[in-house]
Amino acid sequence: MRRHRNVKIVATLGPASNDYEMIRALHEAGADVFRLNMSHGDHAEIKARHAIIRQVEKDLDSPISILADLQGPKLRVGVFANGEEELVPGAAFRLDLDDAEGDVHRVKLPHKEIFDALEPGAHLLVNDGKIKLRVKDCGATFANCEVIVGGTISNRKGVNVPDVVLPLAALSEKDRKDLEFVCELGVDWLALSFVQRPADVEEARALTKGRAAILSKIEKPNAVKVFDSILAVSDGIMVARGDLGVELPVQNVPPIQKQLVRKCRAAAKPVIVATQMLESMIDSPMPTRAEVSDVATAIYEGADAIMLSAESAAGSYPIEAVTTMSNVAAEVEADPTYTEIIEASRKSEGKTVADGIVSAAREIAETTDVKAICCFSQSGRTALLVSRERPRVPIIALTNHITTARRLCLSWGTNCVLSGHVDRFKDAVIAAVRAAKAQNLAGEDDMIVVTAGVPFNTPGSTNILRVAPCAERLIYAVEQE
């Protein structure tokens, strides 16, 4: 389905979006990628949602990308005898490995690796940062803390440790089982939670064995510090502002978001901006003005995709949330200021022939009356390079690999079309022209730019560009060449 916008929309599925009618309606409203949250739902539920998405894809003849989001290592306190306690600033509070139920003075923290890494002066954040503790002294089985910011602490609340790099694998035992399950199921993207170092990504890549692209979620301070090396080994990035905003001062998040988006774009790797984008629409059919501005900011920055979480998974207005996002995107992209910002921030890290070809394609499209850029791509790399250029004309990504088409659904501006097998450039030109006309992106009197690699079916070989007329009589002439 052709979108009248370039930024993509990721919609999380859940109890509010669990059947064929709703998932199809979400796709028709504008969802390009569906996220399966492995923190919620068992394998049977995930499998059922996956099957529905693929049925919608078949019925609408429209490639759809599926993103499986692994839970990652969740750090939580134990339980309290009274269910909850009120911690006051200045009070002492102990975390330890004792199995006894907690009280106002202590509670179990069943994660020995945290105690191994803690040092006096380190901070622990509980319940999404609402409670802040500072370590006074610690050992292999305990940490005596002072309450800096008080509040209600209750059973199994989450714990963040922003000051230290924890000796935790990014993949828990549950994650490993989930990874194998979703890879066998056939998801397109695999999101890794709480990535701290490049080795976390490399471990997941070894386990996926090429069955899914790897998307690293940036939600830890150390991930920000070593972001360049994480980006280098990832296929895509998610700026996960939830935990990032807990572990870092909230005022640090907007500039970090902007920096990461620009680095991803320069590297031609898709980036999602996520978390609380239209949070009020969980319960309201209308977003706040601040939320709309937040969504618009991510689009102005050049993000490939923006994401809905609880809004589409558990909210009362999932279709309205997707529609709102799509409408905001269309309005922003129609703003001349958007074009100015995107073009002023254009930056390429590559110096290959393919980089030169796609740059030339964009310049030709912007200085002539070309209607679209059509690129043939086996692995998806050429389409990613064209997407990085953020051209003013539509991008048609043609491939004979359904997995490539699905993965490209996450990338800015890509209209993914499955083509038949092509082994000669003239056949590529013909297929490109007919795809552009079929999608109503070009007419009989228009021209398009076609890029491809010769010899065909060789990933990364983009080396040829042609401006092709769309007139049927001229296409017939090409067929006779």
pLDDT tens readout for residues 395-407: 999 998 999 999 9
352 annotated active-site? no
Domains of the chain by range and CATH? Answer: 8-73+170-338 (3.20.20.60), 84-160 (2.40.33.10), 353-479 (3.40.1380.20)
List the single range of 164-178, 214-228, 314-328 with lowest mean pLDDT: 164-178
Q: What is the mean pLDDT of residues 106-113?
A: 94
35 annotated active-site? yes
User: Does the structure show a pLDDT above 80 at 196?
Assistant: yes
Strand order in the sheet with 447-453: 414-418, 395-399, 370-376, 447-453, 462-469
- List of residues 6+ apart from 58 with CB closer than 8 A: none
pLDDT tens readout for residues 237-294: 999 998 899 989 999 999 999 999 999 999 999 999 999 999 999 999 999 999 999 9
User: What's the pLDDT at 454?
Assistant: 77
Contact 147, 90 (CB under 8 A): yes
pLDDT band for 421, please (50, 70, 90 cuts): confident
Please measure the distance between the N-terminal and C-terminal CA atoms of the chain and give it in whole angstroms: 33
Pull the structure tokens for residue 405.
């088409």
Catalytic residue among 8, 24, 35, 371: 35
Q: What is the mean pLDDT of residues 58-74?
A: 94
Strand pairing class (370-376; 395-399): parallel
Q: What is the mean pLDDT of residues 292-307?
A: 98
pLDDT band for 383, please (50, 70, 90 cuts): very high
d(CA 265, CA 106) in angstroms, rounded, equals: 47
275 annotated active-site? yes
Pull the structure tokens for residue 22.
């709703």
User: What's the pLDDT at 473?
Assistant: 67
pLDDT band for 163, please (50, 70, 90 cuts): confident
Catalytic residue among 49, 106, 205, 217: 217
Write the DSSP assignment of 406-469 as a string of letters: HHHTTSTTEEEEE-----SHHHHHHHHHHHHHHTTS--TT-EEEEEEESSTT-TT-EEEEEEEE
Residue corresponding to tokens 């990933």: 459
User: What's the pLDDT at 422?
Assistant: 77
